Structures are given as C-alpha cells and as structure tokens.
Amino acid sequence: MSKKSISRGSQTEWERIEAMSDEDIDTSEIPEITGEQMKGAALRFGGKRVSKGKVRVNILLDAEVVAYFKSQAGGRGYQTLINEALKASMRDRDLEATVRRIIREELRASGNSQTIVPWPWHPP
C-alpha cells in the first residue's frame, strides 16, 4: 500500500539561496558544536547510519589489483592498503566536489561566464 504524501511542494527559495555567498549567511544564532556533541555523532550515508569498525565482505578483484597491493604492502596487510585506497578515493571525491563548487562560485562572482572544462581534460 503506497502512502500519499501530505507535504506540499517546497517553499524554499532555492535560487536565492544558491546565489548567496558564505559571507551572506547569518550564522550568529547557530551554536558551536562541542567535542561532547561530536562524541555522540553518527556517520550516515544515504540517510542510513553506518556502524563503526570493520565489516567482512567478499568481493572479486582483478588479479592485477591484488598483485599490485600485495607488492606494495611490505610488512602490512594488502587488504589494509586496499581499504586505505578506497577511503582516500572517497576523500578525494569530496575534495574535488568542493573545489569545483568554489571555482564555480568564484567565476560567478567575477562575472566570468567562460565554460568550465571538466578535469581530467582529454583533448579531442
């Protein structure tokens, strides 16, 4: 049985909000987050809580991927290196999205309407 939504469309003025710079946002009424509050924080992806610790998974990887990480592992486990590479990829993606957003904001603020070339750029 499907539930019918009782909420109306958003009344948020998204265009105005997206046009605002960080300096335009009044944060004076927002309290600082304390270390105690952070201790109780929960990591979420897609709205779902992610538990702390490790999770056992079975995946198939290309033989060359496993061979590469085993050769790089030295005294550490190659699975640890794979885990670190995956976490670095997540951080880099977040960083890339942030840098792209900042560049777009700066271009808009400067009145420059040049096309932003995606990175990595490969000539035709």
Average pLDDT, the chain: 81
Quick one: pLDDT band at residue 102, thresholds 50, 70, 90?
confident
Asked if 35 and 47 count as a contact pair (C-beta separation under 8 A), the reply is no
Burial label for 123, CB within 10 Å (0-12, 13-18, 19+), is exposed
pTM: 0.47
**74, part of any domain:** yes
Question: Mean pLDDT, to the nearest integer, of 110-117?
Answer: 62
**21, part of any domain:** no
Higher pLDDT, 53 or 118: 53
**45, part of any domain:** no
**22, part of any domain:** no
Q: For residue 2, is pLDDT > 70?
A: no
Q: Which long-range contacts (CB under 8 A, 24 or more apart) does 83-91 make?
A: none
Q: For residue 85, is pLDDT > 90?
A: yes
Which residue type does 84 have?
Answer: E
